[in-house]
């Protein structure tokens, strides 16, 4: 294994610092929500965002001049740029071996479907519509539901992966 391939470049940490700067703006937003609502959870989120990626658990091997990053504190906030990058990397690691194995036999397509923002009590019906829409899409792609004059089976549908991010 090439040890150079496992090194983290300085640019990575510079990018991380820039993302942390954005977290300060998000933390201020949660501070305002705390003032408006008095909900303690917003204070916890604000503190977590400010501390995100601020410390690393590192094993240092002086003889080899190697620093092994064992742990990084994450806030796990859905709007945090660093945490979303980590989640994306985890998804990539999790699904790329499966997708790589399918590349020889199938054309892999990636589709992102979005809807306009909804608020409060509009969310459950919007989620229901999204779930029903996905079922319909799968029906078309698998050939169980058809459109006159158009054959979806020509695309060789094999399966789908759906993710709904909260």
Determine the 3-state secondary structure of 161 from DSSP.
coil
pLDDT value of position 156 = 76
Determine the 3-state secondary structure of 57 from DSSP.
strand
Cβ neighbours of residue 6 under 8 Å, at least 6 residues apart? none
Same domain, 81 and 116: no
Structure tokens at 88: 């994306």
Per the structure, the count of domains in the chain is 2
Same domain, 133 and 96: no
Structure tokens at 163: 């993710």
Same domain, 41 and 82: yes
Same domain, 52 and 123: no
pLDDT value of position 96 = 84
Same domain, 75 and 98: yes
Q: Which residue segment(s) compose the domain that 144 sits in? A: 109-148+157-166
Same domain, 43 and 84: yes
Same domain, 1 and 57: yes
pLDDT value of position 1 = 44
Kindly give the parts of the chain with pLDDT less than 50: 1-5
Alpha helices in the chain (DSSP H): 10-37, 40-51, 81-102, 123-142
Long-range CB pairs of 38-47 (<8 Å, 24+ gap) are 45/75, 45/77
pLDDT value of position 165 = 61
The model carries a pTM of 0.57
Q: Is 76 left (phi over 0), alpha (psi -120 to 50) or beta?
A: left
Same domain, 14 and 72: yes
Same domain, 51 and 125: no
Beta bridge partners of 69: 58
Same domain, 94 and 119: no
Same domain, 46 and 124: no
């Amino acid at each position: 294994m090439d040890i150079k391939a496992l090194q983290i470049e300085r640019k990575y940490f510079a990018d991380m610092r820039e993302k942390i700067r954005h977290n300060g703006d998000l933390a201020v937003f949660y501070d305002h929500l705390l003032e408006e609502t008095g909900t303690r959870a917003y204070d916890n989120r604000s503190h977590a965002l400010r501390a995100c990626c601020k410390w690393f658990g590192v094993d240092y091997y002086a003889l080899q001049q190697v620093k092994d990053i064992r742990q990084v504190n994450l806030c796990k906030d859905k709007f945090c740029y660093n945490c979303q990058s980590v989640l994306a990397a985890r998804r990539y690691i999790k699904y790329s071996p499966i997708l790589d194995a399918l590349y020889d036999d199938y054309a892999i397509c990636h589709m992102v479907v979005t809807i306009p923002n909804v608020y409060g009590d509009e969310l459950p019906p919007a989620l229901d519509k999204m779930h029903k829409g996905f079922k319909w899409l799968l029906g078309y792609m698998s050939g169980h539901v058809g459109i006159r004059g158009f054959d979806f089976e020509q695309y060789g549908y094999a399966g789908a992966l759906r993710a709904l991010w909260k």
